């Protein structure tokens, strides 16, 4: 990695703690102060702690409310997302030719070498963890392929409050519902869900992306370099444009959620805080993802537009890839938010003018004037020598067009 771990960098691992009021004036009348929800008393208590758990064990932790709403907000964003997603699934309005496999029987055993197994999957080793559960590498005894399996304990998820109306179980189930509708080469694919009602275990079987994190590739100490950054960035934009076209707001775009395959393709993962909106109404209330990547308008404490917030996070990610540091990072959480809201954007004098123009457009503090993903995809720096970003014709769009062609008597085969 080209970013060293230190107390300041750990701010990127903080869960969102809420926001504070500000204006876009250059000289604010008062010092901005973050609103802290729950029992947060220090920066350290806001850090996402990795959970070292073995099968059958879980630290239940404290019940914590990290949402921005109040009890009078009867229509929660999560509930609305679930309604939209269930409607899509029930009416086959999904972007998958092959549905996600659903398994309701869990068999825990060992293979001939004493390795733990869940159903057909043989355990290799743990590859990640978070506040909800862990991610373990398995290989299938049926097809021989490797899979990344997210493992949860339902009792633990049900005890963790993440908002006035939701528990962590709501987040996980919404993540599953979202991934059941998606299929794109720049999105991590959900293969199977294992949920046995007679056990406390819950598993998400995901495609295993064997490459490294975006920040772990070879490159100069200050960043990945323009060529590699452009290649990765084009994949990120392609995947995010697909999500937004399907009215999915990711909510936590950052390098840690961007996986790179062995062939160098970037895939967007982790939809645990994602939301689904209806039509163009992407107004959300619950604060998104990671503070260092949070857009200024999300700090108002009221509503914000989710797609514009995703675009800001993409800008922060590009800044990190190119320069190897964060554009706005303070000594404390409050200081970090203060910088996001009020500090001007710093870019080196010798930066490529096209790249500088792109980053300035993405990191425009006013969401109304911020560059759109469509504009990003047509930007000269993004096009580079690779040409325009390919327009992926997804399954649901191809299927829809195919039906239209059939109804019009056309022999064009759009599914080829």
| Binding-site residue positions | 150
252 carries an active-site annotation? yes
In contact, 309 and 253? CB cutoff 8 Å: no
- Tracing tokens 């876009």 back to the chain, one arrives at 24
**Tokens read off for 363:** 């990191």
**Separation CA 116–CA 123 (nearest Å):** 5
User: Considering only CA atoms, which of 196, 167, 169, 219 is closest in space to residue 1?
Assistant: 219
- Which of 171, 235, 252, 256 is labelled catalytic? 252
Q: Which helix (H) or strand (E) holds 45?
A: none
Q: List Cβ neighbours of 256 (8 Å cut-off, separation of 6 or more).
A: 12, 213, 215, 270
Rounded to the nearest angstrom, the gap between the alpha carbon of residue 45 and the centroid of all alpha carbons in its chain is 22
Q: Which helix (H) or strand (E) holds 151?
A: strand 146-153
**Separation CA 207–CA 268 (nearest Å):** 12
Annotated binding site for ATP: 150
**Separation CA 231–CA 239 (nearest Å):** 13
Which residues on neighbouring strands pair with residue 206, listed in sequence order? 148, 190
Number of H helices, E strands in the chain: 10, 14
In contact, 120 and 140? CB cutoff 8 Å: yes
User: Considering only CA atoms, which of 346, 388, 366, 173 is closest in space to residue 276?
Assistant: 173
Any idea which residues carry the catalytic annotation? 252
């Amino acid at each position: 990695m080209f970013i060293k771990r230190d107390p300041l960098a750990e701010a990127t691992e903080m869960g969102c703690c809420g926001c504070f009021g500000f204006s876009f004036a250059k000289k604010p009348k008062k010092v901005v102060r973050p609103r802290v929800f729950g029992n947060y008393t220090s920066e350290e208590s806001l850090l996402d702690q990795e959970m070292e758990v073995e099968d059958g064990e879980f630290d239940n932790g404290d019940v914590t409310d990290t949402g921005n709403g109040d009890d009078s907000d009867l229509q929660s964003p999560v509930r609305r997302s679930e309604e939209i997603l269930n409607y899509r699934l029930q009416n086959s309005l999904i972007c998958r030719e092959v549905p996600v496999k659903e398994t309701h029987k869990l068999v825990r055993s060992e293979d001939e070498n004493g390795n733990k197994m869940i159903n057909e999957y043989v355990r290799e080793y743990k590859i990640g963890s978070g506040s909800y559960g862990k991610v373990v590498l398995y290989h299938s005894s049926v097809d021989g392929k490797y899979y990344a399996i997210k493992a949860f304990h339902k009792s633990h998820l049900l005890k963790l409050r993440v908002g006035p109306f939701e528990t962590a179980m709501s987040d996980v189930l919404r993540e599953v519902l979202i991934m059941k509708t998606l299929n794109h080469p720049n999105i991590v694919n959900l293969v199977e869900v294992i949920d046995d009602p007679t056990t406390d275990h819950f598993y998400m079987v995901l495609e295993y992306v064997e490459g490294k994190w975006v920040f772990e590739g070879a490159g100069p100490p200050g960043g990945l370099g323009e060529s590699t950054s452009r290649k990765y960035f084009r994949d990120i934009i392609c995947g995010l444009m697909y999500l937004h076209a399907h009215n999915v707001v990711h909510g936590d775009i950052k390098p840690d959620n961007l996986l790179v395959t062995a062939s160098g393709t970037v895939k967007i993962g982790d939809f645990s805080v994602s939301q689904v909106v209806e039509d163009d109404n992407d107004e959300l209330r619950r604060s998104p993802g990671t503070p260092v990547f949070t857009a200024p308008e999300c700090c108002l404490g009221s509503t914000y537009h989710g797609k514009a917030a995703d675009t800001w996070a993409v800008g922060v990610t590009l800044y990190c890839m190119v320069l190897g540091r964060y554009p706005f990072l303070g000594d404390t959480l409050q200081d970090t938010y203060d910088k996001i809201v009020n500090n001007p954007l710093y870019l080196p004098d010798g930066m490529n003018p096209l790249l500088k123009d792109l980053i300035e457009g993405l990191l425009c503090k006013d969401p109304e004037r911020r560059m759109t993903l469509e504009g990003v995809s047509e930007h000269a720096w993004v096009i580079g020598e690779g040409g325009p970003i390919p327009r992926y014709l997804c399954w649901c769009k191809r299927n829809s067009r195919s039906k239209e062609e059939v109804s019009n008597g056309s022999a064009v085969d759009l599914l080829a």
